[in-house]
A and B are shown apart, each in its own frame.
Chain A
Amino acid sequence: MTAPIDSPLAAAGDLDAFRRALRGWLPKAIPHDWQERIRQGGEPAYVDVQREWYRALADAGLATAHWPSAWGGADLSLDAQIVFYSELARADAPMAVMYVVALYHMPATMFAYGTPQQRDRYLEGVRTGGVVWCQGFSEPGSGSDLASLKTRAERRGDKYIVNGQKIWSSGGQNSDFCLLLARTDSSSARKQDGISYFICDLRTPGITVRPISQPTTESEFNEIFFDDVEIPAENLIGAEGQGWQIAQTTLTTERGLLIFECVERLAQAYIRDAAAGQDTWLADPIVAHEFATFYPRIRGIQAMVAQLLSELRDDPHGGGVMATYVKLYWGPLLQDYTLFLTRAQGLAAQVFVEPQRCAGHNSGDAFVDFMWSYGWTIAGGSNEVMRNIISERFLGLPKG
């Protein structure tokens, strides 16, 4: 793909030039007053801002620049992606949260296991059509023990008939498609072996998407009900029974850059918070001491993420061990820090404010940020699951 002439991507060959180009481009491209619009307009305004922002990124070729050029991307190097994300953080751009599955999880799954027809259709849909995807893995009875999932898909002719329920699907209410795990064989000896992986069009009859309210007053995740839903057999990814293996690819796709962006935003928030609290809570020496204890931890996670990225530079499929340490370091740090800030700010932080969606995890509203930190400590492998993996797989401690 060739970059549009006025896109920063045209300069991506030279990191300094790319950075300069982004600094010129971002202020014009970021949706105007996006924070205020979302605060006032709630969910519809959030969706508008996401679409507008995605369009700007896509028009400049930046949304999918990290994809291989064979699939419409720009083969953007990891180092250029790092520049890109640090500039997004610096410019306080909205995070393209509505598109994360479409830009990372779906394509990674397609690159590895999709048929040429699937790739052409679904990658192009995202790249030029801004199609939105979500992930339908978890179920009411199957969270950490995902492989126990019960949603059934029965083969009937050239279709599968799906019945069951998914839960916690982020962005499901705004999505066009869903990455779906369902059981095609309930008699397999290993529960993992009976699972298959599907592309599911959420407009298919029999599907009901129901948002779940969250403590922040938002409804970012959803239940998805399947009642005799027909999925064409051509929407199976990989082979029947291969779903568990494919899901590992989906889940480990993006282990560097998204967390890099979050960590950069926290590091910037820390500096901003110091300035903001200077005449109030930070003037208290006891609070100031606690504030200072976060600095080495933030530098620690930044150094770990830098190491993770350098491992990924050497091997794009590597970094698994480091990514696990990074996740278990990051979630609790974010939670500790946002809780600290909530308490340090006293009653001021207790005052209700409309959450500012897609501002990342350091929106500046400490209370909301603290609530959202559970996204990192529960989702995508809870802290406890990470501790099991580290102690059993990495340190060799016996299973319980």
Chain B
Amino acid sequence: MDETIDLGALRDSIRDVLNAECPRELIVKHAQHNDGMDRELWSKAVELGWTMLTIPEDHGGLGLGIEALAVLHEELGRAAAPLPFLSSLLAAKAISDSADAAICEAWLPRLAAGAVASLSLPMPLGSTKLSVNCVGDSLVLTGAVLNLLDGADAEILVLLAKDEHGELVRVVLDVTADGIQPARTTLWDRGRSLANLGLDGLHIPAERAWPATGAQETALANHAAIALAADSVGGQAAVLDMTIDYLKTRQQFGRPIGSFQALKHRVADHRTRFEGDIWLLRSAVSAVAGDMDHRATEASAAKALATANYVGLGRDAIQLHGGIGFTAEYPIHVFVKRALLNEQLLGNQAAHLTRAVSRIVEGAA
């Protein structure tokens, strides 16, 4: 990994692009008329090399680490951008962690070049209804794959399956070449979607599979938790800005509503809680980057805290805006929907709290 990258500069450049290319009007329109990713915006992100960010240099990427990933997701969250980075970069990590040179060489350059990818999420650990069996030189996949994030927009799928010995493996599929199409589930958060896929004896070459170790799946879960915490930190920054601006300008009873203590004190509390989210996220990023013992508990704590506070802030932000907050034209609802989804993705509060206290409370996962 390149340690010399200037994260501040990276952040500024991503933010500038998103301010220009993904303004609030765009996400509002997107939420009204589209479902899933914004392809035009994705092409711009690909052109700028954002899909290369965390892919190893040998395979067409920039080889940056979790610090850069967190910055990217924080800025994507701030814009509530309808882009499939969470799924695509996580799928890329699953592939590069396979440590299988041929697999990396076959798939990572495509991902670096902008192919959208999805994967079976790594939490709850090892849960899959897909079975894989060896038949001669091929593998045969049968079963259901549920809730693939951005799966209907993906070209590449990295699925988790169980083999005849009960061992977990990851397999990589090419939607077009393998002739499959995950079916889209529309979500309230229109910037993302889920998809389900049924496979009934799909044959793929044996070299498209590798053993999914517990360590790899845990590492994936940690990355995903950090990405979601970062998205929730960025989203909160945006909602706070929007809300504070509104409280300064909206006048009632002859004065700005922000002068009412009943309102400003709530904002002060949200802003204070937000501070804890920021610094716990930073701490979790260093724990994961430094491979520290508490990386899993820290990542889950950061995810649980930031997503819960994002929901708490978001729901109150609608209230603080009054009627305008309850319109489709005003962007707040886009963020609130994202907040609610973030809290459920990759394990809900209970799952992450259980994981977070697992070193302290006996019997927790």
Contacts and interface: CB of A to CB of B under 8 A. Distances in A.
A295 B356 contact: yes
A396 B361 contact: no
A282 interface: yes
B304 interface: yes
B252 interface: no
Contact of B268 (A291, A300, A302, A391): A391
A396 B265 contact: no
A292 B361 contact: yes
Interface in A281-308: 282, 288-289, 291-293, 295-297, 299-304, 306-307
A65 B276 CA distance: 31
B259 A397 contact: yes
Interface string B331-365: 00000000000000000001001101100111010
Interface stretch (B103-111, B178-186, B198-206, B277-285): B277-285
A296 B302 contact: yes
Interface in B283-327: 283, 298, 301-302, 304-305, 308
Contacts of B280: 296, 299-300, 303
B276 A271 contact: no
A336 interface: no
Interface stretch (A17-25, A338-346, A381-389): A381-389
A274 interface: yes
A289 B357 CA distance: 10
A301 B275 CA distance: 9
Contact of A288 (B264, B267, B277, B361): B361
A292 B261 contact: no
A329 B268 CA distance: 11
Contact of B248 (A289, A306, A394, A398): A398
Given A384-B265, A387-B264, A398-B255, A301 B301 contact: no
A384 B305 CA distance: 23
A79 B256 CA distance: 45
B353 A304 contact: no
B247 to A, nearest CB: 6
Given A270-B360, A289-B350, A398-B248, A296 B259 contact: no
Contacts of A122: none
Nearest to A285: B350
Contacts of A387: 261, 264-265, 268-269
A400 B361 contact: no
Given A391-B264, A396-B248, A296 B258 contact: no
Contacts of B305: 296-297, 299-300
Nearest to A308: B279
Interface residues of A, number: 39
Contacts of A394: 271
Contact of B247 (A307, A322, A397): A397
A301 B280 CA distance: 8
Contact of A303 (B269, B282, B356): B282
Contacts of B301: 295-296, 299-300
Contacts of A289: 350, 353
Interface in B109-140: none
A23 to B, nearest CB: 21
B283 A299 contact: yes
B176 interface: no
Contact of B356 (A292, A307, A390, A397): A292
A274 B364 CA distance: 12
B4 interface: no
B273 interface: yes
Interface in A302-359: 302-304, 306-307, 322, 325, 328-329
Contacts of A297: 276, 305
A295 B353 contact: yes
B258 to A, nearest CB: 4
Contacts of B256: 397-398
A189 interface: no
A395 interface: yes
Nearest to B353: A292
A295 B360 contact: yes
Contacts of B308: 296
A329 B278 CA distance: 13
A270 B360 CA distance: 9
11 contacts: A271-B360, A274-B360, A278-B362, A288-B361, A289-B350, A292-B353, A293-B304, A300-B279, A303-B276, A304-B279, A400-B259
Shortest Cβ-Cβ A-B pairs, 10 listed: A300-B276, A303-B279, A296-B305, A391-B264, A387-B268, A292-B353, A390-B268, A397-B258, A296-B301, A387-B265
Given A391-B267, A395-B268, 5 more contacts: A282-B361, A329-B272, A388-B268, A397-B259, A400-B259
